[in-house]
């Protein structure tokens, strides 16, 4: 999925149309020495899937971003093609592309039931109307399992609260150009 996303975001204007605000930053995944075996297994899996990722040394990472403290780092995976997109621009561009191809979009409209005939979803019911369609996209986020259950399916979604923190670089310094992350224990891999 990630490989396909990078392909789409890199060529977004040609594939979707509009702008996703994609910024290629690269991505580094840092792990402690005790997860070397799962790290290499995961890296090999990504490479087998065609993802442009490789292990790099601490010295190579410091060439890309010299401000890292790498004392507790054992292994580093690097994906030079990775980056991030602007969620608002991406969503707006997808909606505009869909509308130009005949998409009807109803915002803030709750699905109350699915119309199923002969084992196929044929439409959706809302508080205000019934919509016949051959394709239904379940984009209900944390409520997706509720919609799936209307079709007799189960999506094991676990909603959890996550904490985020934004750090500003010291005055006169640029922010790091890489996304970095890493597991806290062997179970994370």
pLDDT mean for each 10 residues of the chain (189 residues): 89 96 90 93 94 96 89 94 92 94 85 92 93 86 91 88 70 69 47
Other beta carbons within 10 Å of 178: 19
Each domain of the chain, given as residue ranges in start order, spans 106-154
How high is the pLDDT of residue 15?
A: 96
How high is the pLDDT of residue 81?
A: 92
How high is the pLDDT of residue 184?
A: 46
How high is the pLDDT of residue 173?
A: 77
How high is the pLDDT of residue 1?
A: 79
Give all strands (DSSP E) within the chain, no chain letters: 23-24, 27-31, 54-55, 75-79, 83-84, 113-117, 120-125, 130-132, 179-181
How many residues are present in the chain? 189
Which residue reads 């990472």 in tokens? 61
How high is the pLDDT of residue 67?
A: 84
How high is the pLDDT of residue 188?
A: 43
Q: What share of the chain is helix, strand, coil (3-state, %, to 5)?
A: 35, 15, 50
């Amino acid at each position: 999925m990630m490989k396909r996303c990078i392909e789409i975001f890199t060529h977004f204007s040609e594939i979707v149309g509009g702008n996703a605000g994609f910024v290629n930053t690269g991505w580094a995944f840092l792990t402690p020495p005790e997860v070397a075996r799962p790290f290499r297994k995961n890296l090999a899996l990504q490479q087998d899937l065609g993802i442009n990722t490789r292990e790099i040394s601490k010295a190579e990472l410091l060439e890309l971003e010299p401000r890292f403290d790498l004392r507790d780092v054992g292994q580093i995976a690097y994906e030079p093609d990775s980056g991030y997109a602007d969620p608002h621009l991406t969503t707006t561009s997808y909606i505009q592309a869909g509308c130009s191809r005949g998409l009807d979009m109803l915002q803030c409209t709750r699905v109350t039931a699915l119309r199923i005939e002969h084992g196929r979803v044929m439409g959706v019911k809302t508080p205000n109307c019934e919509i016949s369609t051959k394709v239904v996209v379940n984009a209900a986020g944390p409520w997706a399992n509720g919609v799936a259950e209307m079709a007799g399916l189960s999506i094991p979604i676990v909603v959890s609260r996550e904490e985020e923190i934004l750090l500003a670089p010291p005055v006169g310094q640029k922010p790091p150009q890489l996304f970095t992350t890493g597991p806290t224990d062997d179970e994370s891999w």
